[in-house]
Amino acid sequence: MLGAVIEKVSGKRYEVLLEKSIFKPLGMTASGYGANVRELPQLASGYQPHGAVNEVADYVDTSWLYAAGGIYSTVEDLAKFERALATDTLLPRDVLENMWAAEHGEYGYGWQLLPPSPKTLNRRLVFHAGGIPGFSTDLLRYPDEDVTVIILANLHPVALAEISRDLSAIVFDEPYTVPPVRRAAKIDPAVYDAYVGRYEINPSVAIAVTREGDQLAVQATGQPKDLAVPESETTFFSRIHPTRLSFATDASGKVDRLILHDNDRDIPAKRQ
């Protein structure tokens, strides 16, 4: 709706205004808007996790996003945009302060706003993240320290929130945890047959485990299906969620439960 208002008031197309008012004045030569991004020779291809490998994500015509997106850019160009905001080059200071005011909880005008807390390394944070099939983005501004973290990835989903926080911690010399490198183990897919079934965490949440060819699929209630990647014959990890799961047996050797490892919690699920 804001894009439509801008076009109505200015009498110009949205993409023309972006080029004239933002991209060109700031020297953002690798940024643009529109549906013809496929014609760009340096356009990155988007990918999505598929078990242990990545597959090319479905192409998205970003023009339908209109003023809510549809822009391609680079880390370097976004850094120019951020510097323009930090130095009042693009907008007057009073307008910027209004934009970054928490008028609606933790959301201002186009930016998410968080007060200091352990989650934000005890610093005030202005940020916005985004993503479409094949691409993920994160831009964090620590205004009081004049520090910015920008990440663009041609993979979605990916744990950019954790990555950007860890990068911030490095800048501020704060503690951070290096994420473990998990690698797929080669096991006989016939092992999966013993795991197929329904595992109940509670009366309203269950995990369905199925075999899809040579892969093991996991789907929790109300969640999309995920392909579990084997670390061993009994332990698996997800490339979409920061979780792992393992299968356990009873005294007779029959698989009777699943254990979901979520951060520091081990959540049992009994086989039905």
What pLDDT score was predicted for residue 36? 57
Report how far apart, in Å, the C-alpha atoms of 115 and of each of 28, 123, 149, 237, 270 are: 31, 7, 17, 33, 41
N- to C-terminal Cα separation, the chain: 49
CATH homologous superfamily for 2-171? DD-peptidase/beta-lactamase superfamily (3.40.710.10)
94, two tokens? 């009073």
Which range among 33-37, 67-71, 236-240 shows the weakest confidence by mean pLDDT?
33-37
Q: At 64, is the pLDDT very low, low, confident or very high (cuts 50, 70, 90)? A: confident
Summarised one tens digit per residue, pLDDT across range 180-226 is: 888 999 999 999 999 999 999 999 999 999 999 999 999 999 998 99
Specify the higher pLDDT residue, 178 or 117.
117
Q: Is the pLDDT of residue 49 over 60?
A: yes
Question: Which of residues 264 and 117 earns the better pLDDT score?
Answer: 117
Of the CA atoms within 13 Å of residue 232, those in its CB half-sphere come to 7
Is it the case that residue 41 has pLDDT exceeding 80? Answer: no
SS (H, E, C) the chain: CHHHHHHHHHCCCHHHHHHHHHHCCCCCCCCEECCCHHHCCCCCCCEEEECCEEEECCCCCHHHHHHHCCEECCHHHHHHHHHHHHCCCCCCHHHHHHHCCCCECCECCCCEEECCCHHHCCCCEEEEEEEECCEEEEEEEECCCCEEEEEEECECCCCHHHHHHHHHHHHCCCCCCCCCCCCCCCCCHHHHHHCCEEEEEECCEEEEEEEECCEEEEEECCCCCEEEEECCCCEEECCCCCEEEEEEECCCCCEEEEEEEECCEEEEEEEC
Average of pLDDT values for 154-174? 94
Q: Is the pLDDT at 37 greater than 70, yes or no?
A: no
- Region 71-96: mean pLDDT is 92
Asked if 7 and 13 touch (Cβ cutoff 8 Å), the reply is: yes
The answer to whether residue 140 scores a pLDDT higher than 80 is yes
pLDDT above 60: residue 176? yes
Q: By the 8 A CB rule, do 154 and 131 touch? A: no
> By percentage, how much of the chain surpasses pLDDT 90?
71
Q: Give 12's pLDDT tier (boundaries 50, 70, 90).
A: very high
Which residue, among 49, 56, 45, has the nearest Cα to 242 in the 3D structure? Answer: 49
Who wins on pLDDT, 108 or 39?
108
Residue 224 corresponds to which tokens in the numbers above?
């999309």
Q: What is the pLDDT of residues 89-118, one digit of tens each?
A: 998 989 888 888 876 678 888 899 999 999
Spans of all domains in the chain: 2-171, 189-271
19 close to 77: Cβ distance less than 8 angstroms: no
The hierarchical CATH code for the domain 189-271 is 2.40.128
Classify each residue of 148-182 as buried b or exposed e, where b means 16 or more C-beta atoms within 10 Å of its C-beta.
bbbbbbebbebbbeebbbbbbeeeeeeeeeeeeee
What mean pLDDT value characterizes the chain? 91
Of 130, 142, 134, whose CA–CA distance to 171 is shortest? 142
Of these ranges, 57-61, 66-70, 152-156, the one predicted with the greatest mean pLDDT is: 152-156
Which pLDDT score, from 0 to 100, does residue 181 have? 87
